[in-house]
Amino acid sequence: MKTVGRREWALLAIILVYSFLPTFGGLLRVIELGGGPAIVPENPRALADPLPIVLHILSSFLFCTVGALQFLPSVRRHYPAMHRAAGRMIAAAGCVSALTGFWMTHFFAFSDELQGFLLYWTRIVLSLWMVGLIAWAVIAIRSRNVLGHSAAMLRAYAIGQGASTQTVLGIGWVVVVGTEPLGLLRDGMMVFSWGLNLLIAELLIRTMFAPRTLLA
């Protein structure tokens, strides 16, 4: 892609590294469930019902990594066919990621230390909202509402990248405090991560898009 500038390559590299942090352990889990060596700690939920976990890991990885390309202006401008093909892929991947997340949140058994009332309902609401945003983005682009499409996908991407921010904050907490956050503290940190991502998304939308598109 000779038309992509250095700044865009740098942005893409940062997003890809940021996206890879939470999925690295998940990809190791997929390898394990596929018959590979057990590298990560055993997870009874993964062993008992691996399908939604595998689908969630792979679809989230696609949504966050391939989705990073969609935000590069040069790609959208000079490679519209690739942008459209990638868009269809990440729309499907994003819906699978959100719906499998919804499924695991509701049907998997978590201890109160790993998922309390606050985190449960936040996950439920954000999963459904993410699907709704992607659906609206598809409707918007078919109506040639490019700015509404872009805003909806940016919000959905912010939700999908929640695990990345949670991983960074979790690692930072362990380094500073020395213990893993659990219970209400863990719930609060997880919810804060999504809130931070969505705040950044709204700031970007207000910076890049005309005010008339904010309610689209």
For residue 2, pLDDT beyond 60:
no
**What digits encode the pLDDT tens for the residues 39-63?**
555 566 655 678 888 899 899 989 9
Residues 139, 160: Cα–Cα separation, whole Å: 20
- The two tokens of residue 179 are 């213990």
> So what's the pLDDT on residue 213?
43
At residue 125, φ and ψ (nearest 5 deg) are: -65, -45
Q: Model pTM greater than 0.85?
A: yes
- Contact predicate 105/120, CB 8 Å: yes
**What digits encode the pLDDT tens for the residues 64-101?**
989 888 888 787 788 888 888 999 999 999 999 999 99
